[in-house]
Amino acid sequence: MIKKGNLYWPSKGLQKRAWVKSKKIYQEAQKRPIKFWEKLAREIFWHKKWKKAFLHQPPYFKWFIGGKLNITENCLDKNLEHNKNKVALIWEPEPTEESSRTFTYYELYSQVNRMANALKKLGVKKGDRVGIYLPMIPEVIISMLACARIGAVHAVVFSAFSPQALKIRLQITKAKILITADGYFRRGKVINLKENAEEGIKDTQVKKVIVVERAHNQITWKKGRDFKFHDLLETERRLCPSAIMDSEDLLFILFTSGTTGIPKGCVHTCGGYTVQAKFTGRWIFDLKEDDVFWSMADIGWITGHTYSCYSPLLNGTTFLIFEGAPDWPTPDRWAQIIEKYGVTTFYTAPTAIRMFEKYGAEFLTKYKFNTLQILGSVGEPIDEAAWRWYFTKVGKKRCPIVDTWWQTETGGILITSLPGVGPFKPAFTGLPFPGVKVDIWDEKGKSLPPNKEGNLVILPPFAPGLLREVYKNPQKYLKTYWSQYGKKVYFTSDAALKDENGLIRIVGRVDDVIKVAGHRLTTGELEAAINLHEDVTECAVVGIPDEIKGEVPVAFVVLKKKRHPQKIKEVIISKIRAEIGPIALPKEVYLVEDLPKTRSGKIMRRILRRLFTKEPLGDLSTLANPESVDIIKMKT
């Protein structure tokens, strides 16, 4: 990388290799974004070409109207022509003594087709929703693609989510079938996933459960309802004709946490998502057919969907998925994996980078990382120190860091500089992807000049992969994304600024979302879980800065009766574990007498947060109960 001032530029070598080598593409795309996306869409295989590229009926919009396609034909069938025997997927299990598994494009194609036939036999039809509650094993990829093959809509639920979290997602989607596993390995332990699934499907419409035998742990089995994944596949044919999907038919639903504890199902559709997934992967990670791409995110998150499944396949690349934790059983497990498979493109989150850094650089001395070409970061702002460590110790100052900004809602990356174009600047995500118009606005909707912080917005025609609706909840869709600045401007809920070169820096969320180790939670859903406790009068949860995880939640709880405080704290924590899962556990639960409130009764969470950030608390005189702050201060 070439350093000029505080900017880094790609070397000649990087530029030469890259799909996109010059800035010109930005101008072309900026002038006629719809035409630009159409040009990209033409590289996808369609059964029928679209009649109109973009239709805007605020707050709704459509892309490639009238187009017919199936994403799996673009991911699999298309690759049989040239890449039939090439490895598509590498799976690294957590136990080091267990062998990895690989699937060529043909093998993956066969498995997906068999699974698609099996789903059909079990009564799954086009448009039906299928719940998937699986860990990072190849069967999760096979299941998602099998759904897409027959036009069923997959709704993947993160395997570390609790049975309650699974239940509500199954209830909202009304899934009649769930694909899960007996268990999986995490830090040397077997997690009994089937037990959680059993609990989660109670009071839902799930009638059939497909179980992958992964950990071979003891599980309960209900004859007639439960089916073994591999038994189903064995008897099925290797060919399943793909459903011809309308561009705007649903491809998948993926939930993000909501304010009230009710999650929001982000709806992604077939045509636009395919185009965006393919080209963001190709240009941002510079995916070539001889690359080995490893995105560390779990499939339960959007990063897993787009960059650990669809995008690498759409680009005919080899990609890797890993079952375990990157620092287990030794802190260098992730580095071993990079070396073992010659990973060329590595995509992770700042939390992981900070964790690797904390282990100290000594354990990395034996790794040269000379296969790596591009590094990626996602999910939360990367601070300058972590950026520099990643750039120097992992990328050896050779590899650009694509700091990619996007959301579950956007389906694919929308902001980051391109590896062959640049520039890259520590702690800045970079330039919007060609064809994407973003801006920074003040509260009134005025565009802000460089270096002024405001709200990040996305302007029409948005991007083909942006969510189309919140599943079965049009009010939520309108209120969350299309109310702040009217129905024609997408409000991201992120604060950001752009520098004089147009590079964007993400400051953080302006709503109640907190990013804990890159995982998206809302303080509202934690509060809803705590409020389930009968002794709780009220509570407030805030995210406070954490050296490794970026942010962690802490809870302030007012009790009706002050009995057995320690026990109550434990019960509150177990409530959160049961309602959401272990990722949401608060760092501390403070039992307090009162919460700071405005005179109209609004809890001032901002003040609670500032007790930890050491920012000035501001004017407390407007509070109804300023004394509450001093009392809480003593407890924290």
Footprint on this chain of ligand PRX (rule: CB under 6 A) = 256, 301-303, 377-381, 403-408, 429, 492, 494, 506, 509, 515, 520
Nearer residue to ligand PRX within complex by CB, 269 or 492: 492
Q: How far is the CB of 405 from ligand PRX (least distance, A)?
A: 4
Half-sphere exposure (CA, 13 Å, Cβ side) for 83?
25
Amino acid at 193: L
Our measurement of the distance from residue 52's CA atom to the centroid of its chain's CA atoms, rounded to an integer in Å, reads 30
Q: Is 522 helix (H, G, I), strand (E, B) or coil?
A: strand
DSSP per-residue codes, 135-154: -SSHHHHHHHHHHHHHTPEE
CB of 545 to ligand PRX, least distance (A): 14
Looking at the Cβ atoms of 506 and 604, the one nearer to ligand PRX is 506
Which H, E and C letters describe 353-392, residue by residue? HHHHHHCCHHHHCCCCCCCCCEEEEECCCCCHHHHHHHHH
Q: What's the closest the beta carbon of residue 379 comes to ligand PRX, in angstroms?
A: 5
Q: Is the separation of the CB atoms in 177 and 208 below 8 Å?
A: yes
Rounded to a whole number of angstroms, the minimum distance from the CB of residue 296 to ligand PRX is 12
How does 25-46 read in b/e, with b if 16+ C-beta sit within 10 Å? Answer: bbeebeeebbebbbebbeebeb
Cα separation, 472 vs 447, in Å, equals 33
Q: Single out the residue of 417, 448, 450 nearest to residue 434, CA to CA.
A: 417
The residue type at 399:
C
- Quote the least distance from Cβ 202 to ligand PRX, whole Å: 28
Q: Of 194 and 515, which has the nearer Cβ to ligand PRX?
A: 515
Cα dihedral sign, 417-509-387-354: negative
Q: How far is the CB of 307 from ligand PRX (least distance, A)?
A: 9
At residue 38, the 3 state secondary structure works out as helix
Burial 602-622 (b: 16+ CB within 10 A, else e): ebbbebbbbbbeeeebeeeee
Radius of gyration of the chain (CA): 24
Stated length of the chain: 636
Minimum CB separation of residue 414 from ligand PRX in Å reads 9
Closest contact distance (angstroms) between CB of 457 and ligand PRX is 12
Angle at CA of residue 293, ends 288 and 24, nearest 5°: 45
Which residue, 215 or 302, has its beta carbon nearer to ligand PRX?
A: 302
Q: Which is nearer to ligand PRX, 113 or 404 (CB)?
A: 404
CB of 46 to ligand PRX, least distance (A): 27
Contact predicate 456/438, CB 8 Å: yes
| Residue nearer to ligand PRX on the CB measure, 302 or 589 | 302
Percent of residues in the chain assigned helix, strand, coil, to nearest 5: 35, 25, 40
Q: Which of residues 498 and 515 has its CB atom nearest to ligand PRX in the complex?
A: 515
Contact (CB, 8 A) for 33 and 275: no
> Residue 464 CB, nearest distance to ligand PRX (Å)?
16
Minimum CB–partner distance for residue 382 and ligand PRX (Å): 7
CB closer to ligand PRX out of 257 and 317:
257
Which residue's CB is nearer to ligand PRX, number 124 or number 506?
506
Give the pair of three-digit tokens for residue 28: 């072309």
Q: Are strands 292-295 and 345-348 parallel, antiparallel or unpaired?
A: parallel
Q: Which amino acid is at 322?
A: F
Q: Which residue is it, tokens 């709780």? A: 536
Q: Measured from the CB of residue 88, what is the shortest distance to ligand PRX in angstroms? A: 23
Beta bridge partners of 542: 554
- Closer of 281 and 379 to ligand PRX (Cβ): 379
* Torsion, Cα of 334, 340, 345, 350 (10° steps): 10
Angle at the Cα of 152 from the Cα atoms of 149 and 155, rounded to 5 degrees: 115
Based on CB atoms, which residue is closest to ligand PRX, 245 or 413?
Answer: 413
27/451 with CB nearer ligand PRX: 451
